[in-house]
């Protein structure tokens, strides 16, 4: 095992050494190197997410991806709790907010609306194992004010043991994610409204409980919305007449109204 390399390259005795470019190591070489920040193998301390300098950066180093689609060129490193092992402390509605995860992910098929099962791929997790992605869909979340928010492009990974919220995907959608020195994480929408706040847990993870609306409930709501849409389209035609038009198939594309 190669140890001390990371330490040596960062603690030179001369100004020239400190300012010299860091030596580039291959992925194979890094596998046996130990980070002096988190004590995990596979990366160096200046790449580690637990390095405070990295936490303050807006962008994430590609090599900091912990759970990522296998097609990515970057190599995941071992500092994420989302390995393929059961955590007895995890409950169904808990989501882990992860700065290294490439996509939102869930193992619960019942939460996914508009599930596209043709979008199959694989993800690699922290213990270097790969899990199958069986599709992608939308998750609807109920907010405290009664309104709903949606998480788009959520990967369905049946073998996952927890649910993941991708910081990268949130910021890509225009949300602002702030991880403060007070061990708090806050997420703001485009209007600078606070929509999520959670504290860092004892194992250095951020967890949030989301009130997810199951897809079956959403489907019922969608059907009601569809009925009202046709009701308005026909100039507030009463629902009994709408049902008659539907049952006799008198209008093209008019759905079944019950």
> Rounded distance, CA 161 to CA 186, Å?
25
The answer to whether 69 touches 157, Cβ cutoff 8 Å, is no
The answer to whether 44 touches 35, Cβ cutoff 8 Å, is yes
DSSP states of the chain as a string? -B-SHHHHHH--SSHHHHHSPPPP--HHHHTTBB-TTT--BSS-GGG-TTSHHHHT-SS--GGG-SSEETTSSS---S--S-SSS--TT--TTEEEEESS-SS-EES-GGGEEEEETT--EEEE-TTS-EEEE--EEEEEEE-TTS-EEEEEEEEE-TT-SSEEEEHHHHHHTT-EEEE-TTSEEEEE-TT--EEEEEEB-TTS-EEEE-EEEPHHHHHHHHHHHHHHHHHHHTTS--HHHHHHHHHTT-STTPPP--
Q: Quote the pLDDT of residue 46.
A: 67
Of 158, 61, 153, the residue nearest 100 (C-alpha) = 61
The answer to whether 47 touches 63, Cβ cutoff 8 Å, is yes
> Rounded distance, CA 62 to CA 80, Å?
15
Q: Quote the pLDDT of residue 3.
A: 45
DSSP states of 61-127 as a string? -GGG-SSEETTSSS---S--S-SSS--TT--TTEEEEESS-SS-EES-GGGEEEEETT--EEEE-TT
The answer to whether 68 touches 123, Cβ cutoff 8 Å, is yes
| pLDDT per residue rounded down to tens, the chain (258 residues) | 444 444 443 444 444 444 445 667 777 777 677 776 566 667 766 666 555 555 444 343 333 334 555 443 333 322 233 333 334 344 568 888 888 888 899 998 888 888 888 888 888 877 778 889 999 998 888 777 667 778 889 999 998 888 888 888 889 988 898 887 777 888 888 888 887 888 888 777 888 888 787 755 444 444 455 665 655 566 656 666 767 776 766 666 566 655
78-122+132-213 maps to CATH 2.40.70: yes
Return the structure tokens found at 13. Answer: 């005795």
Q: Quote the pLDDT of residue 155.
A: 93
Phi first, then psi, for residue 51 (nearest 5°) are -70, 120
Domain boundaries, the chain: 1-59, 78-122+132-213, 220-247
Strands 194-199 and 206-209: unpaired
């Amino acid at each position: 095992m190669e140890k001390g390399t990371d330490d040596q390259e960062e603690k030179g005795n001369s100004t020239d050494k400190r300012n010299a470019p860091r030596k580039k190591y291959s992925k194979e070489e890094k596998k046996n190197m130990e980070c002096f920040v988190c004590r995990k193998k596979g990366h160096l301390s200046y790449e580690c997410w637990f390095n405070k300098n990295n936490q303050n950066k807006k962008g994430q180093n590609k090599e900091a991806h912990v759970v990522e689609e296998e097609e990515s060129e970057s190599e995941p490193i071992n500092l994420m709790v989302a390995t393929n092992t059961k955590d007895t402390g995890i409950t169904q509605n808990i989501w882990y907010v992860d700065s290294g995860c490439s996509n939102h992910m869930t193992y619960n098929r019942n939460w996914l609306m508009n599930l596209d099962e043709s979008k199959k791929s694989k993800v690699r997790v922290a213990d270097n194992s790969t899990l199958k992605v069986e599709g992608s869909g939308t998750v609807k979340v109920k907010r405290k004010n009664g309104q709903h928010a949606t998480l788009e492009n959520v990967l369905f990974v049946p073998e996952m043991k927890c649910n993941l919220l991708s910081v990268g995907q949130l910021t890509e959608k225009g949300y602002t994610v702030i991880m403060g020195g007070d061990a708090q994480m806050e997420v703001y929408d485009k209007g600078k409204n606070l929509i999520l706040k959670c504290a860092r847990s004892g194992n250095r993870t951020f967890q949030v409980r989301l009130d997810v609306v199951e897809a079956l409930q959403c489907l019922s709501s969608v059907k009601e919305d569809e009925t009202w849409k046709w009701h308005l389209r026909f100039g507030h035609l009463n629902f009994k007449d709408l049902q008659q038009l539907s049952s006799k198939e008198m209008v093209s594309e008019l759905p079944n109204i019950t």
